[in-house]
């Protein structure tokens, strides 16, 4: 992880919470070391640090799509990046219309 951070910016350092997050993921035995390294590199391409919540979120997404090897991890990244981004804004709901009563 240190090497990956230094490639991004020589001033970045690995914080204790980052190491702990990676160790927790490794202890779960859901990915081999090579797949975890790809996950770390992927996170560090987009962020300056690794945190437990982000690591877990991506790991869970990968597990849901069947990532079980470095090759599948790379494919999951590619698939995610090619997925069209949906607007996170909610569509405005039309105002409720009262029905007129006839009688």
The pLDDT tens digits of the residues spanning 54-95 come to: 999 999 999 999 999 999 999 999 999 898 876 445 555 555
In this structure, is residue 93 part of a structural domain?
no
In this structure, is residue 42 part of a structural domain?
yes
57, 21 Cβ separation under 8 angstroms: no
In this structure, is residue 92 part of a structural domain?
no
First-to-last alpha carbon distance for the chain, in angstroms, is 75
pLDDT in tens, 36-59: 999 999 999 999 999 999 999 999
In this structure, is residue 101 part of a structural domain?
no
**DSSP 3-state of 52:** helix
Measured between alpha carbons, how far is 61 from 91 in angstroms, rounded to an integer? 26
- DSSP secondary structure letter of residue 31: S
30, 63 Cβ separation under 8 angstroms: yes
5, 19 Cβ separation under 8 angstroms: no
Q: Into how many domains does the chain fold?
A: 1
In this structure, is residue 102 part of a structural domain?
no
What is the domain extent for residue 43?
Answer: 2-81
Task: Confirm whether pTM is higher than 0.85.
Answer: no
């Amino acid at each position: 992880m240190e090497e990956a951070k230094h490639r991004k910016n020589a001033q970045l350092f690995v914080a204790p919470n980052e190491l702990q997050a990676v160790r927790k993921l490794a202890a779960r035995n859901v990915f081999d070391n090579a797949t975890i390294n790809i996950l770390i590199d992927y996170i560090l391409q987009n962020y300056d640090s690794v945190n437990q919540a982000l690591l877990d979120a991506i790991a869970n997404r990968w597990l849901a799509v069947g990532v079980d090897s470095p090759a599948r991890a790379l494919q999951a990244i590619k698939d995610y990046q090619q997925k069209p981004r949906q607007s996170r804004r909610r569509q405005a709901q039309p105002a409720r219309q009262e029905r007129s009563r006839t009688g």
